[in-house]
Amino acid sequence: MNMKLTLLAAVAAVCACNTAFAKWGTAVDRGTILSANGIVPNPGENLLPFWGGNSRDQTDWAVTAFDASGNPHPVIDGVDVTPAGYTSGGAIMTGYPTTTAGYVAAGGPTHAASWVNGTFKDLHPAGSVSSVAQGVGGAGNIVGMATDASGLLHPWLFVDNFEGLPGKQLPTPSGFNQAVATSLAQSLGLYIGGYALNAGQNLHPIMWAEGNSTTFTPVDLLSTLPGSTSGVIVSGTWDSLDGDGSLPVFGGSVTTTSSNGEWHAALWVPYAQGTTGVGYDLHPAGSKYLASSVYAMRLLNKNAVYEAGLVVTAKGRKTAWHAMVWQGSAASATDLNGKLPKGEFIQSTATGIDELGNVEGAAEDKSGIWHEVYWPVK
C-alpha cells in the first residue's frame, strides 16, 4: 500500500474546521422500545469492561433495551431479537448493511453474537469463558473480546469477510496482559482499533494493522497525542482520497497531563506523519465542560469525517451529559443538548451518525428513563 503520497492531504481533510459544518434539527423521540424501563444510553454500558462507550452506527436502529423486569434485550428496528434459548442480551453496534454486533446470555456468561439480515449467530470462541462482539466494519467484519479461565481479556476478530478467513484471536501487545478490540477502519486495508491494559490497569489506545500475510501487528498510539497518560479507541472509519488511497482514523478518549484526570474526546490518525501518526484532543473549550468522549465516527461527503459522543458539563454541584458532534477539531464541537424537545429531557448522549449526518443517541427524561432519540441533519 502506497500511503505516503497522500498522507498530508488526508490529515488536512480530517482536521480542518469546515465552515459548512452541518446543523441539526430538534431531536425526535423514538421512545423506550420495550417498556417504561427504557434503554441503555451508551452501547455496552451494562457490561464489563466498559470504557468510553463502544461505538454504534445508524445503519439499523439497534439498541439495548430493558423489558418489564429490567432485563436487557437486543432490539433492532423496534423488534426484540433475543434468540430462542437465551434470556437476555444487547445490541452494541450496527454498521455494515443489516449487520448488528452484540451479545446474548442464558443465565450465565455472555456470548458474542451477530444478527445479519435478521439471522442470529453465536460467535463465542471455543475455550473462552465469556465474549462480547463490539464493532462492525465494512464487509460485515466483527470484532470484540473474549475472556479466558483467569478472567483476562483477549482481542478477537470474530468475522473476517474482508479476507474470507475464519475468525481469530488478535495478539496482545508486548508489555500488556489484556486487550480488547472495539472497532474497525477499512478500505484498501484492514485496521482494528481498541485498547490494552497492563498489570497496573493503565489503558493504552491500540491499532492492529493487517500485514500482507494476514497477520495483525499491534501498534500503541498513546504517544501520538502529546501529553497522553492513558487512552481507549472505541470507534473507527477511514478518510478516502478520490480513489487514490485511504487513511484509517480512530476516535475515543484520553487522559492527558493537562486534563486533571478527566477523560477528553480524542482523534488519532495513525499514519499521518510517516509511521508515527498524530493525535488530537477534541475536548471543547469552556470551563463548563468537565469531560468528553467520542463514541462513533462516520465519513460523510467530501472527505468530511464526523465524530459523535458526549461532554460532561457542570453547573454548581450538578453534572449532566450533553450529546456532542465534532468535525476533527475541538473548535468544531456542536452541543446537541439544546436541540432536545423543550421540557421533556434533562441530558443526552450521541452514539452514532449515519452517512447523511443524522445523529443517533439517547436522552433521559425527567423521571430518569432513557429514550432512543435522533437529531435530523438540516
Coil vs helix vs strand at 11: helix
Dist CA 317 CA 75 (whole Å): 35
Coil vs helix vs strand at 26: coil
Instruction: Express as a percent the part of the chain with pLDDT over 90.
Output: 69
How would you classify the pairing of strands 79-80 and 111-116? Answer: unpaired
Which of 12-26, 41-55, 140-154 has maximum average pLDDT?
Answer: 140-154
Dist CA 349 CA 372 (whole Å): 10
CA angle 90, 93, 98 (to 5 degrees): 100
Any idea which of 191-195, 246-250, 269-273, 341-345 has the lowest mean pLDDT? 269-273
What mean pLDDT comes out for the span 294-322?
86
| Cα dist from 81 to 117, 131, 171, 329, whole Å | 12, 18, 32, 38
Is residue 204 within 8 Å of 193, Cβ to Cβ?
no
Coil vs helix vs strand at 195: strand
Is the model more confident about 375 or about 242? Answer: 375
Which residues, 6+ apart, have CB-to-CB distance to 140 below 8 Å? Answer: 96, 99, 116, 159, 161
Q: What pLDDT does 366 receive?
A: 95
Q: What pLDDT does 301 receive?
A: 66
Whether 16 shows a pLDDT value over 80: the answer reads no
Find out if CATH 2.130.10 is the number for domain 4-14+25-375.
yes
Dist CA 361 CA 127 (whole Å): 35
Residue that the C-alpha cell 453547573 belongs to: 315
Any idea which of 49-53, 135-139, 263-267, 371-375 has the lowest mean pLDDT? 49-53
Coil vs helix vs strand at 338: helix
Band of the pLDDT at 272, cuts 50, 70, 90? confident
Q: What pLDDT does 302 receive?
A: 60
Dist CA 239 CA 307 (whole Å): 13
DSSP string across 274-312: TTS-EEEE-PPSSTTEEEEEEEEEEE-GGG-EEEEEEEE
What mean pLDDT comes out for the span 310-320?
87
What mean pLDDT comes out for the span 147-161?
96
- pLDDT of 351-370, one tens digit each? 999 888 899 999 999 999 99
Report whether the peptide linkage leading into residue 109 is cis, meaning its omega lies within 30 degrees of zero.
no
Dist CA 133 CA 188 (whole Å): 23
3-state secondary structure 82-108: CCCCCCEEEEEEECCCCEEEEEEECCC
Coil vs helix vs strand at 30: strand
Band of the pLDDT at 240, cuts 50, 70, 90? low
Any idea which of 6-15, 181-190, 218-227, 248-257 has the lowest mean pLDDT? 6-15
Type of residue at 191: Y
Is residue 366 within 8 Å of 344, Cβ to Cβ?
yes
- pLDDT of 77-134, one tens digit each? 999 999 999 999 999 998 888 899 999 999 999 999 999 998 999 999 999 999 999 9
Is the model more confident about 188 or about 135? Answer: 135
Q: What pLDDT does 213 receive?
A: 78
Dist CA 205 CA 228 (whole Å): 10
Exposed, middle or buried, 258 (CB in 10 Å: 0-12/13-18/19+)? exposed
| Cα dist from 339 to 20, 33, 122, 259, whole Å | 19, 21, 39, 28
203-210: strand order across its sheet = 178-186, 190-197, 203-210, 216-220
Q: Which residues pair with 185 in a beta bridge?
A: 191
Q: What pLDDT does 27 receive?
A: 97
Q: What pLDDT does 57 receive?
A: 60
